[in-house]
Structure 1
Amino acid sequence: MGSEWGRIDVDGTVYVKTADGEREIGSWQAGDAEAGLAFYERRYEDLATEVTLLEQRLASGAGDPSSTRTHAVAIKDQLPTVAAIGDLAALDTRLDALLAAAETKASEHAAARQQARADAIAAKEALAAEAEQIGESSTSWKASGDRLRAIVEEWKQIKGIDRKTDDALWKRFAAARDAFGRRRGQHFAKLDAERGSAKEVKEELIARAEELSQSADWKATATTMRELMTQWKAAGRASRDVEDALWARFRAAQDAFFARRSGVFAERDAEQQENKQKKEAIIAQAEALDLGDAKAAQAALRDLQARFDEIGHVPRDSMARIDARMRAAEQRVRDAVDTEWRRGSVESNPFLAALRERLAEAEAKLERARKAGDADRIARAEAEVAQRRALIPE
């Protein structure tokens, strides 16, 4: 019995048809010839199916070209002796095509692997170069330290580099990281030394500020306190765990002084305001003196002047105005006395003796002012003496 690709003769010998003619592949004695042909044809179909699977896996990219080639060669080597009935020539052609495709795929895979290796090397070289730049010059200590740790994690994710190359790149990275670590250590060691020095300087400034905090030399001490603040700012920062405490002590000493000064100044200002009001009240009385009786006005003025002189300082911004008003009130009385005096003769003028008496009183007031050491009172008393002398004829 026969088919397109083989036959079984009457004695049970099985043949397959090839391009070179029939080839005996076995003997079938187990049943009729049709069953025998079917048996050998299924063997062929199994081979064809295996080839089809290899083709599909290679085409899809799931199959390894090297493994595909190994299997394809194994099948191809069987074909000259395989006990199967089918188009062995066509299967051989398919296997040749499969081997060629596997070779192409193997070349592509090799190129891809080579490219992947080159990309991986380039990626690690870039990381190593970045680390070297950080190790050489970066001073962003925290950010750079974080970045170097992140580079280690990125490094681990990069695969496909041969050990020798990978080891060489890692040595570059490790050396850069160590260089950064050394520079950072030196920086913080220097910073610690500077902070220690700053602490010593600031403790000296605190001692000086605390000493001055009880001073009553307001102007000079305020100037010195400001100078100490300037020196504090120039001293740099001490370590974080002591800087705030140092500042609190220094600021407390300064605040103590300025609070005391403010209290004294506030009390003085209140006193001077009160003095101003008292002097203004006296001036108002002097300005209101009745000049119809010049002698009585002059006597009343003397009393007002004595009370005026006994009152302490007034605010600086009011001093000139207060003195000007009082001088004007005094001049008003003097003018009235002078007018009355000039009405009569010098010999018969009843005010001459009074003028001399007033001169004596002015001279006594000048003497008291000099003993008190009050420059303002001395100046006013001298002016009054000169004015009274001018009223007395030679």
Structure 2
Amino acid sequence: MSSEPWGRVDETGTVYVRTADGERVVGSWQAGSPEEALAYFERKYQGLVVEVGLLERRLATTDLSAKDAMTAIGHLREQVDAGNAVGDLAALAARLDGLVSAVEARREERKAARARQSEEAREAKEALVAEAEELAASEQWRSAGERLRGLVDTWKGLPRLDRKADDELWHRFSQARSAFSKRRKAHFASLDAQREETRRRKEKLIAEAEALSESTDWAATAARYRDLMQEWKAAGRAHRDVEDDLWARFRAAQDVFFAARGEAFSERDAEQRDNLARKEELATEAEKLLPIGDLRAARLALRSIAERWEAIGHVPRDARAGIEGRIQAVERAVAEAEEAEWRRSNPEARARAAGLTGQLQDAVDRLREQAGKARAAGNTAKAEKLEQELAGRQALLDQALKGLAEFGG
């Protein structure tokens, strides 16, 4: 018979788990030693521990609904209550009880959040109505009209209130929009007289644009053209039959200037293309470091490449992402190699591997001694059984030693 703190195996191979209510049968084992039986059912318990832990993390890190959470808890509780495992089942049940409490707390939080959302929606809609009523008196026709359209989009994105409150607020909102629309229509009905003044203003803008078209003061002239464009937009529209012609003349003057500036920038573009070629050479040099063999040498080489890279100027905008992506891929590979090296030298992981190796070595030594004594006593059957178990433990030890060697220990 074999026994552990949370269970035992009797002479018939029946496996029991110990609970606060006494022992309970969890299964039968005929395929090997009692220790293997206990180990098997303890692994089943560890599987439950993992499932509960995963659910705890899922509840803590995701927006899992209360319904789905309770379903998952119920499923795990059925497995724990069935208890076909050896371990502290009561502790798992207590953790599941804690999850139930957490789900209930989350449900209350979400209920409170919905209440807050409703109140926030009311306040938001009241603010929209107040702003719409203020805009209804505005004479900024374009900006106010655009803002009112934006308010409508915002309104549509807000949750509905109770029907009475929502209808009352929407009625005020609609009235404000209608009032603004009526005033704007009346205003634009009187614009014909102003459009002739707009034409004269645009003629002046065209004259200045044409006078600037031969300038070689690239920055200042480009800035002035931007200002002229803003003035053009602010002037409004002239009569429809002349607007397109005015715009064509205004745009043609700018095109002359920007074409000349483009030619002047060609020399700069040639320099940037040369910079691109030099960076492509450095990227190729960096890529030759892959795959990473000697990490220290790779780091030094990449540092040298990075210093030379920074000394080179800009490259064409459309090639920037591609060339930087190549060097960044090598940087990521070096970083990943550094991370792998750290994992291999991780003292905690090494300590766990060493501990497991020590335990397996003790088991191998004990089994070897027991097998030797049995064979010396002439108990061949017992000796062979122990030697079979010894072979299994030795294989595990060899695997553990191989893993420990990967840590350099």
Q: Same fold (TM over 0.5)?
A: no
Kindly name which structure, 1 or 2, has the bigger radius of gyration based on alpha carbons: 1
Instruction: Return the TM-score normalized by structure 1.
Output: 0.43
